[in-house]
Amino acid sequence: MPPWATLALWLVPAPVAAARWEDLPRLAREAARGEAMPPTGIPRGTFTSILHHLEVAAEYGGLETENAKRFLDAAGHMLEKTRTGTDPFATARRFVIRGYRSPLSRGIQPYSVYVPPDYDPGRSYPVLFTLHGGSSNHSLFLAVTFGNDETWTEYRRHWRDLYVPQWDTDFIVISPNGYGQVMWRWFGEEDVFETLDDVARHYNVDRDRVFLSGLSNGGVGSYSIGARHAWRFAGVIAMAGAPSWLQYHTPRVQPWERPAFAAQSALENAENFKNTDLRFVHGLQDPGPMRPDYPRVLDEALTRLGIPHQFRELEMGHDVLYATHQRGRLQERLAKVRRNPRPQEVWLSTWDLRAARQHWLEVDGFASTPGRALVKGKAHGRRLRITTENVARLRVHLRDVPFSEGDAEIGIEIDGHEAWSAEGERPASILLAKDGDRWRQAGQDAGVRKRPGLSGPITDVLHDAVVHVYGTRVAEETEQMRDAARIGARGWPLWSLTYQAPVVAEDALPEHVLHTHHVVLYGTRANSALLDRIADRLPIRVEPGAIIVGSRRFEAEDAGTRFISPNPLAPERYVVVQSGNSADAVRRGNNLPDFVPDWVVYDGASTRRRERLACGRSCPPAAGWFDANWQLAE
C-alpha cells in the first residue's frame, strides 16, 4: 500500500466509485452551493475545504497524475458523505488538508492540520503552529515536521504529495500556508491568526496553550509574530531564523526605512517576551543567511532585560527541525506550559499600532512618529503603576488586571502622577491621554489621527480587505492603469502566492465599497476621476505634471509616488495612492521594495529594477513618515 493510501482511507467509502475528470465542474458547483448554504448540521467550512481539493485537482488541467486523481477522488468521496448528512471531516484524523475564506484575498486559503488519532471533541487540546520555510508549503512542512524527510532542493516536487506522520502527539498541530514565501509578514501574519480561528471553529482548542514555532523563514516569522503578539501565545519556539530584519537584511538601510524593519523584528521588541515562554535554536554551522551570531544578540538583550528564555546552539547546519522536535518530545516538554492571561507585570514595546497590545496594556497613539513606544506596568494590590515612553494615548484593559480582592478604590498612576481612580465595579477598559506631564481619561476624538488599524505604513493596508482601483478617464492609458492594478493586487511583497485582491475600474466601483475596503488607487491626476475628486484633501498633492511634498515639487515625467492616508471619502479606511507624472511612472511604482514608510517619491532610476527588501543602491529621491495627525513632518 503506498504511504498516502493509509491517510486516504477515511475519505474512501468502499461502495463509491472514483470521481472522473468530467465530473469536476459538477462537483465544484455542488461544493460551492454547500459553501453558500450548507446542509443542516454540516459546517460551511467543510464545503470550503472540499472546494479547495477540487481547485487543486483543476490546477493539474486534467493530467492523469496520482496527486491529481487523489485530490479529485477525495473531493468526490467527501461530497458523497455530505449527501447523507455526514461531515467527512468529523472523523478525519492525523494529517488533514482544509481551507477557509479570508476577507484579505479572493481565493481559498489552504492549511494542513494534524488531529490526534484519539481526538475527543469533549476536551480542549493544546495547539502548536509550525511555520514553513522557503520553498515549502503547508502540507509538505507538516509532513516534514512529523519525520517525513525530504531534500530541501526537492521540496517543490512534493508540495502536493500526501504523507503519514511518523509519530503521534496529543497536540493539534497547524501548518498555515502564509500566502507563500512572504516570510509571515502582513497578510502572512494575518493568515496565522485566521487559521487559528478556523481551526477553533472545527476543533476544541485551548487558547491558553497555543505555541508558535517555525524553521528558517518560519523561524523569522516565529520571532516576528511571537514578539509582536507575545501575549497571545503560551510559548514561542524559533528555529534557525533571524530575530531582526535589520540583521537579515545586511546591506545598509536608510533612516526612513529602519522603523518599518524594526516594527517586524523580535530584537527591537524583546520586552514583549516578558510573560511568554521563549525558546530558540540555531546551528553553529548554519551557512546563512540566518547567521549563528544573530540569535546570540537576542540572547544577550534578553539577559540584560532579565527575561527568562532558553537558547540552544547545536553542532549542526541550518536544518535543526528534528533535533528540536525529537519525535514529539518537544510537545511533551511544552505540555505543562500555559499562558498567564492576567500577569501582574506587563511590558509592551511597539513601533506600529497594528501590534500595540500586551495583556492589559495597549498603546492607542504615539507621541511622535516614527518611533518606538515603550510601556511598563505593574499591579500592586488595588493600584497600577505604569511608565511610558513616546505614548500619547494608552488603553488599560482593567478586566485583565490581577487586582487584589476587596472594595477599596482602584487607581492608576502613570509616569509618577495619579491618572485615574474609581470605586465599585470597574469598567472593562479605560482610555487615557497625555495632557502635558499628566494623564487624564480621554475624551471625544477630535480630528484625524493615527490609531490602531489606521496608522501606516503603506504595508499596513495588507492586513485588511483591499480593492485595487484604476483610473479610466483617458482611454489610451486605461489598459496601462489596469495592468498596474493587477500587478499590485497580487501583493507588493515579492514571492507571495495565493494572494489576489479584487481589481475594479473606478467607474464601476460601488460607493459602499469605500466603507468596507481599503482602496489602492492607480492613476494620474489626468486619467483618474477618483484621484481628482480627493486630491485636494490628501497630505501629498498630485497635480497635472507635478508631485508636491510640502515645499518640494517633483516635475520630471518619470516621477511617481506611493503614499497611504485616511480616505477622505471614508476616514475609517485607508486610501493608498500610486500616482505619477505619466502613466509609465504609475506602473513603475510596483517596483518599490517590500519595506516602505508612509510615503515615497520615486523616479525611473530608483524603480529600474525591483529591490526585494530595501532600496539598496538606487534609493528614491524622497521618502518619509507622516506625523501622529497624518500631516507631513518636514
pLDDT tens sequence across 268-310:
999 999 999 999 999 999 998 999 999 999 999 999 999 999 9
Q: How far is CA 231 from CA 68, 205, 268, 476, 586, in A?
A: 41, 17, 17, 52, 41
Give the three-class secondary structure for 163. Answer: coil
Task: From 289, 271, 259, select the one nearest 595 (Cα to Cα).
Answer: 259
Phi-psi region of 132 (alpha: psi -120 to 50; beta: other; left: phi over 0): beta
Cell of 572: 475609517
Give the three-class secondary structure for 169. Answer: coil
CA triplet 104, 107, 109: central angle to 5 degrees? 80
pLDDT given at position 634: 61
Bridge partner list, 353: none
Burial of 601 per CB tally in 10 Å (0-12, 13-18, 19+)? buried
Separation of alpha carbons 142 and 165, rounded Å: 9
Cell of 593: 521594495
Cell of 576: 493608498
* Contacts (Cβ under 8 Å, ≥6 apart) of 293: none
| Cβ–Cβ < 8 Å for 330, 324 | yes
Matching residue, cell 476544541? 204
Separation of alpha carbons 324 and 144, rounded Å: 13
Q: Which CATH code fits 458-624?
A: 3.30.379
Task: From 295, 329, 334, select the one nearest 216 (Cα to Cα).
Answer: 295
Q: How far is CA 317 from CA 240, 300, 377, 558, in A?
A: 9, 22, 41, 46
Task: From 480, 479, 229, select the one nearest 339 (Cα to Cα).
Answer: 229
Separation of alpha carbons 10 and 310, rounded Å: 40
- Edge-to-edge, what's the strand order for the sheet holding 541-543? 541-543, 546-549, 552-554
pLDDT given at position 16: 41
Task: From 280, 343, 336, select the one nearest 313 (Cα to Cα).
Answer: 280
What's the distance, Cα to Cα, between the start and end of the chain in Å? Answer: 69
The secondary element (H helix, E strand) that includes residue 504 is: strand 503-505
Q: Where along the chain do the CATH 3.30.379 domains lie?
A: 458-624
Task: From 355, 401, 354, 356, select the one nearest 382 (Cα to Cα).
Answer: 401
Task: From 247, 292, 285, select the one nearest 266 (Cα to Cα).
Answer: 247
The secondary element (H helix, E strand) that includes residue 538 is: none
Cell of 480: 496601462
pLDDT given at position 12: 33
The secondary element (H helix, E strand) that includes residue 611 is: none
96-149+166-340 homologous superfamily:
Alpha/Beta hydrolase fold, catalytic domain (3.40.50.1820)
DSSP 420: E
Over residues 311-336, the pLDDT tens digits come to: 999 999 999 999 999 999 999 999 99
Q: Where along the chain do the CATH 3.40.50.1820 domains lie?
A: 96-149+166-340
pLDDT given at position 446: 64
Give the three-class secondary structure for 263. Answer: helix
Question: With a cut of 70, which residues of the chain have pLDDT below it?
Answer: 1-17, 62-63, 446, 634
With both helix axes pointing from N to C terminus, report the angle between 187-202 and 44-59 in degrees, rounded to the nearest 10: 130
Pairing of the two strands 172-176 and 125-131: parallel
| Cβ–Cβ < 8 Å for 366, 392 | yes
Predicted model pTM: 0.95
Q: What one-letter code names the amino acid at 98? A: R
